[in-house]
Structure 1
Amino acid sequence: MIRFRSIILIVIGLSVAGCGTSRESYEVGQAQMRSSPAFRQGAMESCINDADRAPAEERNRFAARHKIPAREVSRTACRRIVNAIAQNRLTYEQYSEVFSSGDGAKLLQAAEATY
């Protein structure tokens, strides 16, 4: 359990704090997302916390474009992001750009780009 939390902090948490994540850490997290449902769920929860910080205007636009209720924006966007990471459709560079800023609007834009 401690290792699980450490990996989440390396892959998701450090980037939220603006510390960045190395390519190697990203690849380890990516492999964990493919093999561990618990890790994937932890990544989803961290992502949702970031997505919840997106401005209401961005969240409403995302909801309208995807014909989903506004309350589902974070979950939908993060499901797409986590799947894109696990399926190698979100590159390390894209990941770094999205998560290093802590900008929820960038997260929503990345979710759309990976769809």
Structure 2
Amino acid sequence: MHIRGVLTVIAAGVILSGCVTESSYKQAQEIVRGSPAMKRDAINKCYSGASRASPARKAEMAKIMNVSPRSNVARTYCTRAFNGIASGRITYEDFRTKSPRFIRVIQGR
């Protein structure tokens, strides 16, 4: 799979918790860890999907993330998630199960 394809799968997975293998997750993690441009691209792909969420879903995400519903919830979610993936604070298991650690990261803690 091409690098952009891996990032697209992970970006979709961040939004939908789709089928992302541990191998593709680790590959994408190394890519976004080592390339700020690719991390920005992944955040933008995630954002383009997350911004299409229903207003009710965005309001729910805002509550979980402790941000104003009037803020750019989708951008904040994607940025925090990919920063957590790149830094190693979000492991594959955290990502897959939306663990308390994952929640803390998207809350900005």
| TM-score, scaled relative to structure 2 | 0.68
Q: How far does the alpha carbon of each residue in 1:57-93 deviate from its partner, in whole angstroms, 9 at most, with x for none?
A: 3145357x33x56242211222111111011111112
The one-letter amino acid paired with 1:58 is: E
The answer on 1:51 being equivalent to 2:53 is: no
Please list every run of 5 or more consecutive structure 1 residues that lacks an aligned counterpart in the other structure: 99-106
Give the Cα separation in 1 of the matches to 2:33 and 2:76.
18
Which 10-residue stretch deviates more, 4-13 or 83-92?
Answer: 4-13
Give the Cα separation in 2 of the matches to 1:61 and 1:18.
19
Which structure ranks higher in relative contact order (CA pairs < 8 Å, sequence separation ≥ 6)? 1
Contact 1:51 1:108 in 2 (8 A): no
Q: Identify the structure with the greater helix proportion.
A: 1
Contact 2:8 2:45 in 1 (8 A): no
The answer on 1:90 being equivalent to 2:85 is: no
The one-letter amino acid paired with 1:79 is: T
Percent identity, aligned pairs only, is 25
How many residue pairs end up in the alignment?
Answer: 102
Do the aligned partners of residues 19 and 85 (structure 1) sit closer, same or farther apart at CA in structure 2, a change above 3 Å counting? closer
Which SS does the other structure have where 1:70 is aligned? coil
Aligned-pair Cα RMSD in Å: 3.1
Do the aligned partners of residues 71 and 86 (structure 1) sit closer, same or farther apart at CA in structure 2, a change above 3 Å counting? same
Please list every run of 5 or more consecutive structure 2 residues that lacks an aligned counterpart in the other structure: none
Shift of 1:17: 7.0
